[in-house]
Structure 1
C-alpha cells in the first residue's frame, strides 16, 4: 500500500513533489506513466496471444468483405435500401439523420461503426491484461474514435453540408462567432453563453428558508413550512461538496426540496463552502464534524427530542453512511432513517471514473493540489466530459460551431457550469481511503480514531441508483445490500447521475423499479434484483414520500425558524452566502 505524502515532506520528497507537479501541469494531471503501463500491458500480452491476433485478423477481413459488398450495393440502390453491415447502438444518435443513408456518407458511417467494433474486440479479452489497464486502453481507443468520427467534420457530415448549402455558409459564420465568444468568455473566466439567464436566488434555489448555522465549512438552511402541520421528524439533506447544493433546489417546478416541503416535512439542507487555498488542510474528518454532525446538533436544538430522516446525495451520501456507522458504533440513536441518492459505499467497482484514479494519477493530483491548495472544478468537469465525450463535447461542438446553433441552456446545465473546488487534504484522503483502498467497505475507515463498520447500521434505508450513471454506477450503489443487514428499499430509476435524481412528478418518459429487502433478509445480486423488482411508470419521488411518511409520526405544528436562545439564530435568507461563492 502506497502511503500518502506526509504533511512535512523531507527535502527528497519535496523535490519529487515539485517534479510531479511539473508533470501534472504539462499533462493536465493525467499520468503518462499510467497510460504507458496500460498500453505496454495490452500490447505485450496481445503480442503473446496468437489466437487473439488471428481472431482480430479474421474480423478485419470479414469487415472488409462486408464493407466492399455494402459499398457496391449502396452505390446502385436508393438511399437506405442496402442492408447495413452493422447497426449503431440504440443510444448512439450520431447517424440518426436520414442524410447519413445517402452515398457516400452511408459508407463512411458503416466503415466507422465497423472500426469501432474491431477496436472494441481488440482492446477487450486479451489474456493476462490487468482489468484496469484493459479499461484504460479501451477508453483511449473510444476517445480517439469519437474524435475522428465523420460526424464531427464539415466535409464528412452530410447534415452540416446540407445546412451550409441551404444557408449559403451563414451557419459557419455564426459558428465562428460562437467559437470566438466562447474563447473570449473562457479567457475572461466567464460562464458559458446563456448561463447568465439563470441567477441563483432569483431563478434557481428560490425555495424560501433561513440560514440557521454558518461555520467554516458550511451553512445550514432551514426551509419555511408551506403546510399547517408537518411530520415531527425533520429531514436533513447532505449534498456532495463537489457540486452546489441547489441541484436539489433548481427551478420551482423541479425542486426536490420544494416538493419535500410541500409534502409536510421540515427540511434542512447543508450548503457547502466553495473552498480556496486557505482551506487546503480541511480533511474528511472536518466534513464529518463541521458538516453532518454540526448540522445534527443544530437540528437537535431547533427540533428537540426528534430523530432525523438523514439524506445524502453522491459523496454526501458516502459521508452520511460514515456518520451513521459511527453513530451506530457509539450507540447514538439520532437518526430515524437514512436515504442515499446515487451514493457509493463500496468502491471496488466505481465505474468509469476509476479510469482517472490509480496510484500514479493520485500522486500527480496530490502534487498539483499541494501547490494550489485545492482541486479545481474545471478538472472535475473535464473528467466527466471525457466520460461522455459525444454528449458533452462533440455533439455540442457540431451544433454550435458547424450548424451555427446555440444549444438552449437549461437550469440543470446552468447548475452544471457552477463548479466547485475541493480542499487538497480532503480530496487526497477521499481518493486514497475510498477509491484506492476501499477502507469503508472493508471496515478500516477511522472516525474518532476507531474504525467504523457499515454492518452496524440497522436503520431503514432508502437507496436510489440511476440506470445510466457514469459517476456512481447502480450496481456499485447496490453493494450496500451485502454490507449492511438493514432493511433496504432499493430504487433503480431511469436517467443518469443528475437527471435521474431530478425526476419530478410529471416529467415525461420516466420509470423506475423498486424492491424492499427486509432487515436481515437474503442477498439478491443486481441481476436477480432486476428480474424481481417490479417496474413502475413515472417519478420515484412519490415512492420516497410514502416511504418517509410510513416511518414518521403524526403531523404536528411546524417548529420555529432557528433557535436563537440555543445558539442558532437566523443569520439570513436562503440560499445564503456560500452558494454564491465563485
Structure 2
C-alpha cells in the first residue's frame, strides 16, 4: 500500500468522529452552525445588493439553455423509441447499481475510483456515501446522454444542450454541498464548525472585493510583482503605439542569429505566461538559444482603444510590430509566432501580406491557435444566436468593451470542476485561505477587449468560419490562407479545452506551403509552456498532414518531455547566420515588462462613456 493510500486509511471516519464528540462539543458545533447561518444570510444580502455575477445582463436565460433543453425534450417526445431507449439506459443503470452494491457488500471488492472529486475514503468505506456517489454517476451519465438520443435537433442546439447539461451535472455533484461532502463534514466536526464559518467569511470578502458580485479568489495575489518575481527576463520596450508595446529582450550569448523571432500572444490574457518564472520561461529559453526575441504586449481596452477593429489590430498590431522589430534588429526578415487568438490574427495578416507581395515574415509558428473553427468545441456555444446576442448585450452595457472579468469567468466555467467548484470546496466549505500561485495570478490578470474586435471574432471566425474559407476580409480585401506559402509549424495540445486538438489540426491543413504539425500532452497552457528541464508530459511528431488529427496520430511517434527541442530543430535553420549580439536600444520607453502589462482591470472603470 502506498503512502498516499495509508494516509487516506488513517483518516478518522465520520462515524468515529461523531462518536468522540461530548455534549459540550456538540453545543459548540450547534452554536457555530447558527453563527454560520447568520453569516450566510449576510452573504446573500451582499450578493442581492450587488449586480449579480460579473459581466452578466439581467435576463432570465440569456444563453438559451432552456431553449436547448426544450428542443431535446420535444425531439424525444416526437420519437417514442428514442425516449424509450433513453429511459431504458437509466433503468439499466439503476439495476446495475443495486447489483453492484449488493455484490460489493458480499465480496468486499470495490473497483478504484477514478474521479478525483471522490478521493476521500468515505466515498468507498461508508455505504451511504458510496450509494450517493454511484447514484450521482448513474444519473449524470443518463442526463449527459439525453441530447445524443434526440435524433432531429440541429448541431448548434445539440452542442448547447450538451454544454449546459455538463454544467448542470457538475453543479449537482454531491461534493459541492456540505451535507454530502465527507471531507467538508470532517473538517466541520474537527474544527468545531470554524471551517464553515471561515468559508462564509471568505465568500463575503470575495463579494466585497468584487463590488457585490461573487468572484472566487483562486490565489493570494499579494506576493507577486511584475518585473520582480514574475516576468523578469531583462529587456527594453523599443516601440509603443496606442495598441501595443514591443519588448526586445537582452541577449545572453556573444553572438545571435541574424533573423529575430517576433511573438504575438493572445490579447485575452497577458504575454508573461511566456516568462512566468526563470525556470519555466520560454522567452529566456529562446534567448539562451541565441535568438533575438521580440514580444508584443497588448493594451487592455479602455477609452482610447474601445472602438478599435480587427483591421486596427492587424495594422497597429502585426504590421506595426513587424516594422518596428525589423528596424530594431537591422534584419530584413523575421520569423513569427502566434499564440491562440494572436495566431488567428497573424494567419489572416500573413495572407494579406502574401497577396500584396510582403515577404518580411519568413516562417511562422502557431501555438494552440485556430484559423479553421469548424470543430472549435464548447466556445461555439457563445457564437450561435442566443450566445452572440448575450455577448452583444454585455458589450453594450460596458461601453463597447468586452470586460475581462467576464472572460475570466467564461474560461473558468469551461472547466468548472477544476476552476470553480474546487475553490468553492477548498475555501467556502473547508475554510482554507487561498495560497500564492503564480499561474493563477496570471490567470486572474485578465484584459478588456474592444467590442468590435470580439464580436467579429465570434461572428466571422467561430460562427461563419470565414477565415479558413477565403471569405474573411482584411482592409476590405478577402484573404486566402492558401496564399501563405512560407514554412509553418502548428502546435496543438492533446487536452486543450479552449482550442481542441482536432480543431487546431484542421488549421494545419489550411496553409499553402510546407506545414509541420506537433502535438503536445496536457492543455492550453501547460501543453505550450513546458520547459524541457521539467521533464513533464510528452509530445507526438509525424509525417505528412492527413485529413484528420486522429489519422495523423495513428502513425505519429510519441516522445517523452517537452516539444520545444523539436520546434527548435525546425526553427534553427530558418534563423539565419550568427552575428555579434547587441543589447536593445534604450528608446526612453522603459524596461521590460513594460507599462501596458501593469494595467489591471481595476484600473479601468467600465462602462466607458
TM-score > 0.5 by shorter chain: yes
Q: What are the Cα deviations for residues 60-115 of structure 1, in whole angstroms up to 9, with x where unaligned?
A: 222222223334445x458xx2556xx86x5x311123221121111000000011
1:454 and 2:481 matched:
yes
Quote the Cα distance in structure 2 between the aligned partners of 1:463 and 1:256: 17
**SS of residue matched to 2:578:** coil
Q: Pick one of 388, 397, 406 that aligns with 1:362.
A: 388
Whether the aligned pair in 2 keeps the contact of 1:135 and 1:355 (CA below 8 Å) is yes
Question: Mean alpha-carbon deviation: is it higher for 129-138 or for 218-227?
Answer: 129-138
Residue of structure 2 equivalent to 1:435: 462
Quote the Cα distance in structure 2 between the aligned partners of 1:346 and 1:141: 26
Q: Give the aligned length.
A: 542
- Structure 2 unmatched ranges of 5 or more: 1-54, 601-609
Whether the aligned pair in 2 keeps the contact of 1:561 and 1:570 (CA below 8 Å) is no
Quote the Cα distance in structure 2 between the aligned partners of 1:529 and 1:37: 38
Residue of structure 2 equivalent to 1:13: none
Quote the Cα distance in structure 1 between the aligned partners of 2:414 and 2:66: 20
5 Å-filtered alignment, 1:541-552, equals 541-552=564-575
Quote the Cα distance in structure 2 between the aligned partners of 1:302 and 1:141: 52
5 Å-filtered alignment, 1:373-412, equals 373-412=400-439
How has the CA–CA distance of structure 1 residues 555 and 258 changed in structure 2, closer, same or farther, with 3 Å as cutoff? same
Quote the Cα distance in structure 2 between the aligned partners of 1:125 and 1:492: 33
**SS of residue matched to 1:310:** strand
Q: CA deviation at 1:560?
A: 4.8
Whether the aligned pair in 1 keeps the contact of 2:536 and 2:562 (CA below 8 Å) is no
Residue of structure 2 equivalent to 1:96: 119
Q: Pick one of 11, 25, 50 that aligns with 2:57.
A: 25
Q: TM-score, normalised by structure 1?
A: 0.88
Residue of structure 2 equivalent to 1:12: none
**SS of residue matched to 2:373:** coil
Quote the Cα distance in structure 1 between the aligned partners of 2:336 and 2:260: 8
How has the CA–CA distance of structure 1 residues 516 and 261 changed in structure 2, closer, same or farther, with 3 Å as cutoff? farther
Residue of structure 1 equivalent to 2:295: 269
Residue of structure 2 equivalent to 1:414: 441
Whether the aligned pair in 1 keeps the contact of 2:334 and 2:362 (CA below 8 Å) is yes
Quote the Cα distance in structure 1 between the aligned partners of 2:579 and 2:262: 18
Residue of structure 1 equivalent to 2:256: 230
Quote the Cα distance in structure 2 between the aligned partners of 1:532 and 1:417: 39
Q: Pick one of 304, 323, 343 that aligns with 1:297.
A: 323
Q: CA deviation at 1:433?
A: 1.4
**SS of residue matched to 1:346:** coil
Residue of structure 2 equivalent to 1:514: 541
Q: CA deviation at 1:524?
A: 4.0
1:180 and 2:212 matched:
no
Quote the Cα distance in structure 1 between the aligned partners of 2:390 and 2:90: 39
1:159 and 2:159 matched:
no
Residue of structure 2 equivalent to 1:464: 491
Quote the Cα distance in structure 1 between the aligned partners of 2:484 and 2:543: 16
How has the CA–CA distance of structure 1 residues 194 and 537 changed in structure 2, closer, same or farther, with 3 Å as cutoff? same
**SS of residue matched to 2:127:** coil
How has the CA–CA distance of structure 1 residues 363 and 254 changed in structure 2, closer, same or farther, with 3 Å as cutoff? same
Q: CA deviation at 1:434?
A: 1.0
Residue of structure 2 equivalent to 1:39: 69
Q: What are the Cα deviations for residues 340-383 of structure 1, in whole angstroms up to 9, with x where unaligned?
A: 00000011111111112213322332243234220111111121
1:257 and 2:283 matched:
yes
**SS of residue matched to 1:222:** strand
Residue of structure 2 equivalent to 1:109: 133
Whether the aligned pair in 2 keeps the contact of 1:322 and 1:452 (CA below 8 Å) is yes
5 Å-filtered alignment, 1:315-394, equals 315-371=341-397, 372-394=399-421
Quote the Cα distance in structure 1 between the aligned partners of 2:479 and 2:593: 34
Quote the Cα distance in structure 2 between the aligned partners of 1:531 and 1:211: 45
Residue of structure 2 equivalent to 1:10: none
Q: What are the Cα deviations for residues 191-219 of structure 1, in whole angstroms up to 9, with x where unaligned?
A: 76511111112111111000011101010
How has the CA–CA distance of structure 1 residues 130 and 105 changed in structure 2, closer, same or farther, with 3 Å as cutoff? same
Q: CA deviation at 1:142?
A: 1.9
Quote the Cα distance in structure 2 between the aligned partners of 1:121 and 1:43: 12
Whether the aligned pair in 2 keeps the contact of 1:280 and 1:374 (CA below 8 Å) is yes
1:533 and 2:564 matched:
no
Residue of structure 2 equivalent to 1:70: 100
Q: CA deviation at 1:227?
A: 0.6
**SS of residue matched to 1:485:** coil
1:577 and 2:577 matched:
no
Residue of structure 2 equivalent to 1:16: none
How has the CA–CA distance of structure 1 residues 503 and 407 changed in structure 2, closer, same or farther, with 3 Å as cutoff? farther
Whether the aligned pair in 1 keeps the contact of 2:236 and 2:247 (CA below 8 Å) is yes
5 Å-filtered alignment, 1:79-90, equals 81-83=108-110, 90=114
**SS of residue matched to 1:31:** coil
Whether the aligned pair in 2 keeps the contact of 1:230 and 1:555 (CA below 8 Å) is yes
Quote the Cα distance in structure 1 between the aligned partners of 2:276 and 2:219: 19
